[in-house]
Amino acid sequence: MIIRVGHLYPEYLNIYADRGNIAVFLHRAASRGHELRVEPITLGTRLEPGAHDLLYVGGGQDREQTMIAPDLAARAGALREAVEAGAALLAVCGGYQLLGRGYRGRDGSWLEGAGVFPLETLAGETRMIGDVLLESTLEEAPGRSIAGFENHAGRTVLDPGCETLGRVVAGFGNDGGSGYEGCRVGRALGTYLHGPLLPRNPWLADLVLSWALAHATGAGPQPLTPLSDELEQEAHAVSSARARERGGRPVRS
């Protein structure tokens, strides 16, 4: 099966090793006999309705994010339609913020987002930096462990009743206070976790791939053949130990 991936603004949003996430999708799809075709979508590129099974948005520095934000906001309709039609979407860090309704700067400025996720982000005084450990709140995998790294000044506040990615075991999460991390709408996931996210959380990569495959085939999501994932589990164990040890505490700069 061919899985069509739209990678949004890869040359602007790539600050936290987003290509690691793409590499994981490529290899895990290939191990199951599927082919991932990644198409960059950048300033001025048209987003064809129904042309992608999986959309990926990474994180960028403030300057780069400001550069692409208007272009992304102009795609709000197309992105929401894609998600409503069952395409999978993964947005990390800055991409997560930009797919909310908007970002309120410390000077009161408002950066319009694409509104895929029902949330808003407010710039904070300090950055929340460190290792993170979550327990998944996804209905497909309740309680499963997710380990990553976060580095964000924005406090993301979800509308009441929103689905999240996970409950924070160690670290800060969405806003450092709610105890939850990430957001889910249909087959769209947004999260602050990089590291990158997928190499050390392979089951999550497989879940998103199964959604993309479901969109590609038009059938319901089917679980993928398990892989050995020995190294992945080892990396996950080290990363979650780090979060338990030192997650959620301010780092001296």
Tell me which residues are annotated as active site.
93, 194
Tell me if 252 contacts other proteins by CB under 8 A: yes
Q: Which of 22, 60, 1 is nearest to 199 (CA)?
A: 22
Region from 7-15, 101-109, 136-144, 182-190 binding other proteins, contact rule CB under 8 A:
7-15
Q: Give SS3 for 82.
A: helix
Q: Give SS3 for 102.
A: strand
Tell me if 20 contacts other proteins by CB under 8 A: yes
Pick from 204, 239, 240, 248 the residue near other proteins by CB under 8 A.
Answer: 239
Region from 104-112, 169-177, 213-221, 237-245 binding other proteins, contact rule CB under 8 A:
237-245
- Binding mask of the shown chain, residues 55 to 84, with x at each position contacting other proteins by CB under 8 A: ------xxxx--x-----------------
Radius of gyration of the chain measured on its C-alpha atoms:
17
Tell me if 173 contacts other proteins by CB under 8 A: no
The torsion region of residue 195 among left (phi > 0), alpha (psi -120 to 50) and beta comes to: left
**Residue 40, beta-bridge partner list:** 7
Tell me if 238 contacts other proteins by CB under 8 A: yes
Strand 180-181 and strand 166-170: pairing?
antiparallel
Q: Give SS3 for 203.
A: helix
Tell me if 222 contacts other proteins by CB under 8 A: no
Distance in Å, CB of 133 to other proteins, minimum:
14
Closest to other proteins by CB, 185 or 197: 197
- Binding mask of the shown chain, residues 184 to 203, with x at each position contacting other proteins by CB under 8 A: ----------xxx--xx---
Gap between the Cα atoms of 185 and 187, Å rounded: 6
DSSP 103-172: EE-TTS-EEE---SSSEEEEEEEEEEEEEEEEEE--TTSTT-EEEEEEEEEEEEEEPTT-B-SEEEEES-
Tell me if 35 contacts other proteins by CB under 8 A: no
Closest to other proteins by CB, 15 or 157: 15
Tell me if 227 contacts other proteins by CB under 8 A: no
Q: What is the helix (H) or strand (E) element at residue 238, kind and residue range?
A: helix 230-246
Q: Which residues are at the interface with other proteins (CB under 8 A)?
A: 11, 14-17, 19-20, 23-24, 27, 61-64, 67, 127, 129-131, 149, 151, 194-196, 199-200, 231-232, 234-235, 237-239, 242, 246, 251-253
